[in-house]
Structure 1
Amino acid sequence: MALKIRLARGGSKKRPFYQIVIADARSPRDGRFLEKVGSWNPMLKKDDAKRVELNNERIAYWMSNGALPTDRVLRFLNEAGIVTREARVNPTKALPGKKAQERLAEAKQKADDAAAAAAAE
């Protein structure tokens, strides 16, 4: 059985509240779980102590038994100092698309041609 440490959504419409649970990877998001090991309330301020609550001992136990955290839960565990999360950097994300790069190259070529023509005169 593949275990995941993941979020199960609760709360009302437009007022989310998440439980951090240990669940089988095949079970639905809000379905059956084995144990509740924490909670996350995104409606609270980021510096509020009750925003993320974790049961460190139980999380360590389940991770030793093969449970893998999802990316969002891994961020919480990294902030708590339980696990180290590698920073994910995508340097190509900020680059313009292929067509925009072609337009920039054309504009640069036209500017270079115009500068060369002005210098020749």
Structure 2
Amino acid sequence: MAVKIRLKRTGMKKAPSYRVVVADARSPRDGRIIENIGWYNPRVEPSKIVIDEEKALRWLNNGAQPTDSVESLLKRAGILDRFLQEKAAKKTAAEA
């Protein structure tokens, strides 16, 4: 089962906000989700990003693939850098 971390659109017409969710890659954009891990509001200045770091890291370690837009949000929140550092540390520990 391919699992993606992606955005689920919420809000009114022409006033979008998004939830950052973990979902099966085959389910529709606003369909069934596995877990809600945060939200993103692009309408405020600066845009507001709230992602549960612990949940996001757990899903990334379990092999969930972020979409391009979620990957940029994770970079802006600093979560992706932490994930890559932990991954590199595990790799060097395994080699030693």
TM category, shorter: 0.7 to 0.9
What's the CA shift for 1:73?
0.6
Task: From the CA coordinates, give the structure whose radius of gyration is larger.
Answer: 1
* Partner SS for 1:77: helix
Match of 2:71 among 63, 70, 74: 74
Give the number of the structure whose residues are more often strand, by fraction.
2
Gaps of 5+ in 2: 82-96
TM-score by length of 1: 0.64
**Would you say how many aligned residue pairs link Structure 1 and Structure 2?**
81
TM-score by length of 2: 0.81
How many Å separate the matches in 1 of 2:63 and 2:15? 32
What's the CA shift for 1:58?
0.2
Match of 2:17? 17
Q: Show the 5 A alignment for 1:1-121.
A: 1-46=1-46, 51-84=48-81
Amino acid at match of 1:3: V
Identity %: 49
Q: Which has the higher contact order (CA 8 A, sep 6+)?
A: 2
Where has structure 1 moved over 3 Å in runs of 4 or more? none
Match of 1:105? none
How many Å separate the matches in 2 of 1:82 and 1:16? 23
How many Å separate the matches in 2 of 1:15 and 1:76? 19
Q: What is the Cα-based RMSD across aligned positions, in Å? A: 1.0
C-alpha contact 2:49 2:77 (8 A) present in aligned 1: no
Q: How far does the alpha carbon of each residue in 1:28-86 deviate from its partner, in whole angstroms, 9 at most, with x for none?
A: 0000000000101111112x6xx1100000000011111010111111111122214xx
